[in-house]
């Protein structure tokens, strides 16, 4: 039975973000990035967070090049966004993503110029798709 997709905690996300900034990294690499002045305790914290991310299928560990092990993220930012949006949809909207989309489009907060440009290009693309059944 497939394990339910799981969320990640804030500290785990910090680790993932550091992995997204590199194609792969060692525990030492991540510790230097995230816990620069913490010595062995920072190292162990990163170890524990990577262990939990492994269990959540969010990273893979490559032992083949001997110590140190190398780690890569197996989930990217967009996939996490998707998981979290799906979780909101399942929790509040019976699984439908449309209320989320509706909410985002109708929000009262004005968009920045660059955000609006991104949205306009998305709308144009969607209309293009709509005109080709």
Please say whether the beta carbons of 38 and 45 come within 8 A: yes
Q: Which does 74 bind (CB under 5 to 8 A by kind): a second copy, DNA, none?
A: none
Question: Which one, 34 or 89, has the nearer CB to DNA?
Answer: 34
Report the residue from 4, 37, 64, 66 that binds DNA according to the rule CB under 7 A.
66
Q: Which two tokens stand for residue 120?
A: 């306009």
Choices 23-31, 86-94, 98-106, 112-120 (CB under 7 A): range interacting with DNA: 23-31
Largest CA distance in the chain: 60
Q: Please give the backbone phi and psi of residue 35, each rounded to the nearest 5 degrees, phi first.
A: -130, 65
Question: Which one, 47 or 86, has the nearer CB to DNA?
Answer: 47
Spatial CA neighbour of 49 closest among 5, 19, 82: 19
Choices 25-33, 48-56, 59-67, 78-86 (CB under 8 A): range interacting with a second copy: 78-86
Q: Alpha-carbon distance 33 to 68, whole Å?
A: 16
Q: Alpha-carbon distance 32 to 68, whole Å?
A: 14
Question: Binding to a second copy by residue 68, rule CB under 8 A?
Answer: no
Q: Alpha-carbon distance 20 to 22, whole Å?
A: 5
Q: Which residues make up the interface to DNA (CB under 7 A)?
A: 7, 9-12, 26-28, 38, 40-45, 47-49, 52, 63, 66-69
Q: Which residues make up the interface to a second copy (CB under 8 A)?
A: 10, 13, 77-78, 80-82, 84-85, 88, 91-93, 96-107, 109, 111, 115, 118-120, 122-123, 125-127, 130
């Amino acid at each position: 039975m497939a394990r339910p997709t799981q969320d990640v905690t804030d500290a785990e996300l910090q680790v993932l973000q550091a992995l997204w900034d590199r194609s792969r990294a060692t525990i030492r690499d991540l510790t230097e990035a995230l816990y620069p002045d913490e010595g062995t305790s920072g190292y162990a914290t990163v170890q524990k967070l990577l262990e939990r991310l492994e269990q959540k299928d969010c990273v893979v560990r490559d032992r083949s090049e001997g110590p140190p092990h190398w780690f890569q993220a197996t989930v990217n930012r967009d996939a996490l966004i998707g998981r979290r949006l799906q979780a909101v949809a399942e929790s509040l909207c019976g699984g439908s993503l449309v209320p989320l989309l509706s909410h985002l489009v109708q929000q009262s907060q004005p968009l920045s110029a660059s955000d609006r440009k991104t949205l306009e290009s998305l709308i144009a693309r969607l209309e293009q798709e709509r005109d080709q059944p």
